[in-house]
Amino acid sequence: MSKFPKDFLWGAATSAYQVEGGIYQGGKVPSSMDPSSKEHANKEITDFSVASDHYNHWKEDVALMAEMGFKSYRFSISWPRIIKDKEGNINQEGIDFYNNLLDELIKNNIEPVVTIFHFDIPMFVEEDGGLESKNVYKHYERYCSVLFKNFGSKVKYWLTVNELNVMVLISQIINTNKEKYSSNEWQVMHNMNVVQAKAILMCREMCPKSKIGPAPNIAINYPASSKPEDFTAKLNMDLLRNWVYLDILCRGTYSKKFLSYLEQNNKQIHTTSEEMELFKIAKPDFIAINYYSSGTVEALDNKDGNDGATNADQQSGFAFKGFAKSVKNPNLEKTQFGWEIDPVGFRNTLREVWERYQLPIMVTENGIGARDVLTEDGKVHDDYRIDFYQKHIHQMALAIEDGVEMIGYMPWSAIDLVSTHEGISKRYGFVYVNRDEFDLKDMKRIRKDSFYWYKELISKNGEL
C-alpha cells in the first residue's frame, strides 16, 4: 500500500524566465532578467534570452510531462508578459499564451500549480521604485486581478511569491535587486508580505474555489556542536532564514526577536496599522516549500565590523551579526555544485513546518543540479539524480507517517532550464534540452534515465 494519498500531486516545476526564452516575442516587456537590464559580469554562462525556448516548444514539453504521467505542473506566469506598463495595460498575447498552456495541461489531466511571481520583475516596476517602494502594491494588485479574472476558473492552486526569503537574503546573486547595499532588504520583505496578504484576500473573493499559499525556500538548521550557544544560533538562523516569512502570513505577526534584530542592526521597516490588520485575516490555505538542503550553524558574536556573510548562493554563506553563521556539515555529501545533500533533513524540515503551522504542505522544488552528459547514442545516465530522488521521496513518505499532511511533490525541474546564476550547464530536468551555454544546437528534448524512473514511480504512486 502506498503511503501517499491517492490524489497526491506528483509532477515537477519550472519558472518563466528560466525556461521560456522568447523575451522579445509575444509582446513581453523588459524585465530585470533580460540581458539589457543587467551587466553580465560572468561571460562564461548564458543569459535568459533563449533559455529552453519553452515559449516555442510548450506543446511538446507538456506532451513529455503527460508521458511521465504528471498529475501536476508548477510553473510561473511572467508578469512582464501580462502587464505592459505602469498604467496596467494588458498584453492580450500573454494572456493567450498562458490560456493555451493551461488548456493543454487540463486536457492532459495535469493540475496547474501557478506561481504568480518568480523573480522576474518588470522594468516598469523597477523604474517605479522596485519592490522596496510601496508603489509595488498597486502594480502587484492589478497584475493579480488580471490573473484571477482570466485564469481563475482553470487554476486550483496559486503560489503568491517564489522564495521571498532568497530574494531578501541574496538578491544581488539572483538579480532581483542590483543595489543590495544601498537598500533595505527587510523593507522588501515587508512590502512583499503585504502584497501576498492582499493576493490571498483577492483570491478568496475572485476565485473562491482556488487555494493559495506562499512558496519560501525552507532549510532546517542544525547546531554545529552541542554548545548551548550553537543551539541559540540555530534558533536565530531558523528565524531569519525560514520562519519570519511564514510567521507573518500564518500567525499574523512579526516576532519580538525579529523586531529586536532589526532594531539592533538599524534596519527598521515601515509598517502601517492597516497593513498589520491585513495579516490577521489573510491566512494561506497551504504552505509550499522549496527544499534543497539543510543548514548547519554556529554562534556569531562579533557585534562590530563585517557580519562574515559570504552569500555564496541560496544554500550557504549566511551570517547575521550577533546572531548566527552558517558552516559546513562534515556529515553530508555534496553535489557537483557544492550543495549539501540531506534527505533526512527533508523529513526534519517537513516535520518542523507541519508542527509549527499545521497547514498542508506542497513541495514545489527539490532536486540536484549536475553537469549531465549526453552520450554519443543520445542517452543521459543520471543515476545520481535517481538516487537523490529515491532518498528524498523515501524520507517524504516517512514524514507522512510522522503525520505531516502532504498535497504534492513538484521537484526542480520538469525539463532542463537555465540556473539562477550558474547557466544551463547546471542541469536539473528529467528531460535534457540539447543546447550549451552559447551553442543553441537543435534544442531537442531528450528523455534522461530519470525520466523513465520517475514515470514508473508516479504510476505506482510513489512506491518502488
Active site residues: 163, 365
SS3 406: strand
Touching ligand BGP, residues 308-327 (CB under 6 A): 313-314
**Does residue 163 belong to the site contacting ligand BGP (CB under 6 A)?**
yes
Give 64's strand partners.
none
Contact residue for ligand BGP among 193, 217, 349, 425 (CB under 6 A): 217
- Each residue 278-297 as x (binds ligand BGP by CB under 6 A) or -, in order, gives ------------x-------
Contact residue for ligand BGP among 46, 78, 150, 162 (CB under 6 A): 162
Which C-beta is closer to ligand BGP: that of 299 or that of 418?
Answer: 418
Which C-beta is closer to ligand BGP: that of 228 or that of 338?
Answer: 338
Contact residue for ligand BGP among 132, 230, 365, 372 (CB under 6 A): 365
- The cell numbers describing 106, all together, are 487540463
- Residue 300's identity, in one-letter code, is L
Q: Are 296 and 237 in contact (CB under 8 A)?
A: no
Cα–Cα distances in angstroms (integers) from residue 2 to residues 174, 454, 463, in the given order: 38, 15, 6
What are the start-end ranges of the H helices in 218-367?
228-238, 244-250, 256-264, 273-281, 343-357
DSSP-derived secondary structure for 35-49: GGGS----TTS--SS
d(CA 42, CA 423): 10
- Each residue 410-429 as x (binds ligand BGP by CB under 6 A) or -, in order, gives --x------xxxx---x---
**Does residue 340 belong to the site contacting ligand BGP (CB under 6 A)?**
no
d(CA 177, CA 188): 10
Contact residue for ligand BGP among 15, 150, 196, 293 (CB under 6 A): 15
Which C-beta is closer to ligand BGP: that of 130 or that of 216?
Answer: 216
Give me the residue whose beta carbon is nearest to ligand BGP. 419
Q: Are 84 and 142 in contact (CB under 8 A)?
A: no
Touching ligand BGP, residues 46-105 (CB under 6 A): none
Considering CB under 6 A, how many residues would be counted as binding ligand BGP?
17
The region of 77-85, 158-166, 236-244, 378-386 touching ligand BGP under the rule CB under 6 A is 158-166
Q: How far is the CB of 366 from ligand BGP (least distance, A)?
A: 10
Which C-beta is closer to ligand BGP: that of 394 or that of 421?
Answer: 421
Could you say which DSSP state residue 29 is in?
P
**Nearest partner of 379 among 336, 335, 431, judged by Cα:** 431
SS3 169: helix
Q: Are 89 and 49 in contact (CB under 8 A)?
A: no
- Residue numbers at the binding site for ligand BGP (CB under 6 A): 15, 18, 162-163, 166, 217, 290, 313-314, 365, 369, 412, 419-422, 426
